[in-house]
């Protein structure tokens, strides 16, 4: 077993990477036939990819969340998908045209992940309102059924039993619980780990469930007895991803330490491990031929790593640091922009598919007026012009106060010096005749 410090090119038939999001990817899922993939991103979008025969083509870029999109799953049949995000919204998508068939806005609490039952009839969503939300997919609509309550902290992970009768939850209070899907009753505390449960994976057969926790623990629990049946290697940081091949033969864990570990889910031997050179791994999918892991982290693209046959060292063709890393610049305004804005805004004529519109030419622009950008109603209805004063006010009082109902996250710059520096920087960097060295790519260096 070797630990590669760099990635490797990938087995025939699989794409090397999925590029097209404008911010870090939160999740990656493969369709049942593994010819398509779904990704969600910090850029608020969900993308459907064609990955057949090694393609990495965008089939649909789906806009509908008003904050980071955290997780998306195909429904059986592959014609529809569901997604959840930081906006507390659950969306049902028509993959034929990328339209929203149904949406339920539950409030402001984050929803980190979801599970689809075997038949595709039920959905369970993990919410930071300390509950899991249960839905039924009826025709083209999402029908809220009930909330599963009794958690003492955020719910991070959910799973269905194969017969759809039981819903398992993993919460920040360190407990894995089971609920009756039919009436929402708490059945029992399956296992008490103590540290927050971040991720769950029900094992093939439905008698065991694997979990990953904030203390780095990865273990497999026997559901009937509640005992740990297999303790796997700890990550040095919280475990953020856990996935299984469709045949149930391989289980992989990914963590804040950038490690990916792949296990034989029968013998529980560690088959391979890999370290992402660019930080945490929080989204992952394994292919049915056991050859490739798709993984997501700080990058604005999904990477692939060839698990088997193991490839020798090959450098990753990737630029670093990422644009959202802290900039090495003397200009305090450029620094503010790099740290607080660049993950969602470019300064170039193109918005680069980021969550927010490009700020190129923003001074003198009517609020909410960039053609083609999907503004919130709040910004479309607002009636003023962006000037040094209005931009400064935006971050003095906060977007939620200046433009209530906006989908720009709440953030304030309380110091006048910081605001002035940011505005001064934006003034010259967003001018249409700005020199190319002010492009965000340079700021990221």
3 state DSSP class of 388: helix
Binding of ligand HEC at residue 26 (CB under 6 A)?
no
Q: Cα(256)–Cα(274) distance, rounded to whole angstroms? A: 13
Cβ proximity to ligand HEC: between 378 and 434 the closer is: 378
Tokens for 264?
């034989």
Binding of ligand HEC at residue 368 (CB under 6 A)?
yes
Count of residues in contact with ligand HEC, rule CB under 6 A: 25
Binding of ligand HEC at residue 424 (CB under 6 A)?
no
Distances in Å between the Cα of 295 and the Cα atoms of 250, 383, 413, 430 are: 15, 43, 34, 34
347: Cβ contacts below 8 Å, ≥ 6 apart: 337, 358, 359, 360, 429, 430, 434, 438, 439, 440
**Cβ of residue 341: shortest distance to ligand HEC, in angstroms?**
3
Cβ proximity to ligand HEC: between 305 and 375 the closer is: 375
Binding of ligand HEC at residue 63 (CB under 6 A)?
no
Q: Which stretch binds ligand HEC (CB under 6 A): 7-15, 57-65, 339-347, 437-445?
A: 339-347
Q: Which stretch binds ligand HEC (CB under 6 A): 150-158, 178-186, 325-333, 404-412?
A: 404-412
Binding of ligand HEC at residue 340 (CB under 6 A)?
yes
Q: Which stretch binds ligand HEC (CB under 6 A): 102-110, 175-183, 297-305, 369-377?
A: 369-377
Helix count and strand count (H, E) for the chain: 6, 29
Cβ proximity to ligand HEC: between 280 and 368 the closer is: 368
Binding of ligand HEC at residue 355 (CB under 6 A)?
yes
**Cβ of residue 338: shortest distance to ligand HEC, in angstroms?**
10
**Cβ of residue 102: shortest distance to ligand HEC, in angstroms?**
22
Q: H or E segment at 380?
A: helix 377-381
Distances in Å between the Cα of 204 and the Cα atoms of 8, 207, 247, 434 are: 30, 8, 8, 57
Cβ proximity to ligand HEC: between 339 and 445 the closer is: 339
247: Cβ contacts below 8 Å, ≥ 6 apart: 204, 288
Binding of ligand HEC at residue 305 (CB under 6 A)?
no
Binding of ligand HEC at residue 438 (CB under 6 A)?
no
Q: Apex CA 377: angle with CA 371 and CA 378, to 5°? A: 110
Binding of ligand HEC at residue 367 (CB under 6 A)?
yes
**Cβ of residue 376: shortest distance to ligand HEC, in angstroms?**
3
Binding of ligand HEC at residue 341 (CB under 6 A)?
yes
Binding of ligand HEC at residue 89 (CB under 6 A)?
no
Count of C-beta atoms within a 10 Å radius of residue 61 = 15
Tokens for 338?
């790099």
**Cβ of residue 82: shortest distance to ligand HEC, in angstroms?**
22
Cβ proximity to ligand HEC: between 190 and 341 the closer is: 341
Q: How would DSSP label each residue in 87-134?
A: TSEEEEEETTTTEEEEEEE--SS-EEEEEE-TTSSEEEEEETTSSEEE
Q: 369: left (phi > 0), else alpha (psi -120 to 50), else beta?
A: alpha
Q: Which residue in the set 376, 387, 420, 428 belongs to the binding site for ligand HEC (CB under 6 A)?
A: 376
Binding of ligand HEC at residue 408 (CB under 6 A)?
yes
**Cβ of residue 354: shortest distance to ligand HEC, in angstroms?**
8
3 state DSSP class of 146: strand
> What CA dihedral angle connects 226, 231, 232 and 234, to 10 degrees?
100
Q: Which residues bind ligand HEC (CB under 6 A)?
A: 340-341, 343-345, 355-357, 359, 362, 365, 367-368, 370, 375-376, 378-379, 386, 391, 395, 406-409
């Amino acid at each position: 077993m070797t630990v590669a410090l760099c990635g490797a090119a990938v087995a025939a038939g699989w794409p090397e990477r999925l590029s097209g999001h404008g911010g870090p990817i939160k999740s990656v899922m493969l369709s049942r036939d593994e010819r398509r993939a779904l990704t969600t991103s910090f850029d608020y979008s969900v993308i459907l990819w064609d990955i057949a025969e090694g393609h990495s083509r965008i089939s649909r870029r789906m806009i509908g969340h008003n904050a980071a999109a955290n997780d998306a799953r195909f429904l059986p049949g592959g014609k529809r998908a569901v997604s959840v995000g930081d906006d507390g919204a659950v969306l049902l998508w028509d993959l034929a045209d990328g339209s929203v068939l149904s949406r339920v806005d539950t409030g402001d609490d984050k929803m980190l992940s979801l599970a689809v039952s075997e038949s595709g009839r039920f959905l369970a969503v993990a919410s930071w309102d300390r509950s899991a939300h249960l839905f039924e997919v009826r025709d083209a609509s999402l029908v809220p059924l009930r909330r599963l309550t009794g958690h003492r902290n955020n719910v991070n992970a959910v799973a269905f039993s194969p017969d759809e009768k039981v819903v398992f939850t993993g919460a920040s209070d360190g407990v894995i619980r089971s609920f009756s899907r039919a009436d929402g009753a708490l059945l029992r505390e399956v296992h008490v780990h103590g540290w927050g449960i971040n991720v769950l994976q029900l094992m093939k057969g439905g008698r065991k469930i694997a979990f990953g926790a904030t203390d780095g623990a990865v273990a497999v629990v026997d559901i009937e007895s509640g005992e740990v049946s297999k303790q796997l290697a700890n990550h040095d940081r919280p475990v953020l991803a856990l996935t299984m091949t469709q045949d149930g033969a391989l289980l992989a864990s990914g963590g804040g330490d950038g490690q990916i570990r792949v296990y034989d889910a029968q013998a529980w031997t560690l088959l391979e491990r890999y370290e992402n050179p660019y930080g945490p791994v929080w989204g992952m999918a394994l292919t049915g031929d056991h050859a490739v892991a798709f993984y997501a982290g700080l990058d604005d693209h999904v990477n692939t790593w060839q698990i088997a046959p193991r490839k020798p060292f090959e450098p990753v063709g990737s630029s670093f640091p990422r644009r959202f890393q802290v900039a090495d610049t003397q200009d305090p305004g450029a620094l503010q922009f790099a740290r607080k804005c660049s993950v969602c805004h470019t300064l170039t004529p193109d918005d680069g598919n980021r969550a927010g519109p490009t700020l190129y030419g923003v001074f003198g622009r009517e609020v909410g007026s960039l053609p083609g950008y999907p503004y919130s109603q709040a910004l479309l209805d607002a009636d003023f012009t962006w000037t040094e004063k209005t931009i400064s006010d935006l971050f003095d009082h906060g977007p939620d106060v200046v433009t209530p109902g906006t989908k720009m996250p709440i953030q304030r710059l309380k110091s006048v010096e910081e605001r002035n520096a940011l505005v001064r920087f934006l003034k010259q960097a967003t001018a249409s005749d700005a020199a190319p060295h002010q492009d965000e790519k340079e700021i990221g260096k």
